[in-house]
Amino acid sequence: MRRCVDDLLAEARAALVRLDPNQALDAQRRGAVLVDVRSEDQLRTHGCIPGAIHVPRNVLEWRADPDCAHHDPRIADLDRHLILVCEHGFQSSLAAANLQHLGFSRATDLDGGFEAWQLAGLPVEAWERPARDCGI
């Protein structure tokens, strides 16, 4: 039976404890890692959340999976509380559900995304592209 994207989104969100911007900030202060999956164009245009780690959506699962040769040690810990951030809070829900399938039981997302963070008046800074390796 075919499902539409709204079905996938509802299924993903049913498994998440989504956080509003102030809850996400509080969780970050207590050690949670904010993972920004937005594009570099969005980061350049709108800025980023201080302390958030940028992991492009198209490589997220490879960077998160601790068994992958291309994992990022800043996020590749199955016990880590990961809060995914996208522009509006849609792709981050689907991505967080994927991470839960990989074993990240504390993966969730920011309800309303970066846009909600900005509207809440929370800190935003200019984004500078870091030097990276060219692995997956």
Question: Which residues are catalytic, by number?
Answer: 86
> Rounded to whole angstroms, how far apart are CA atoms 40 and 38?
7
State the residue for tokens 């984004």.
127
Q: Which of 12, 3, 39, 4 is nearest to 93 (CA)?
A: 12
Residue 112 token pair:
């309303």
- Going edge to edge, which strands form the sheet with 108-109? 53-54, 33-36, 82-85, 108-109
Residue 85 vs residues 4, 53, 76, 100, 108: alpha-carbon distances, Å: 23, 10, 17, 15, 9
Q: What is the DSSP letter of 130?
A: P
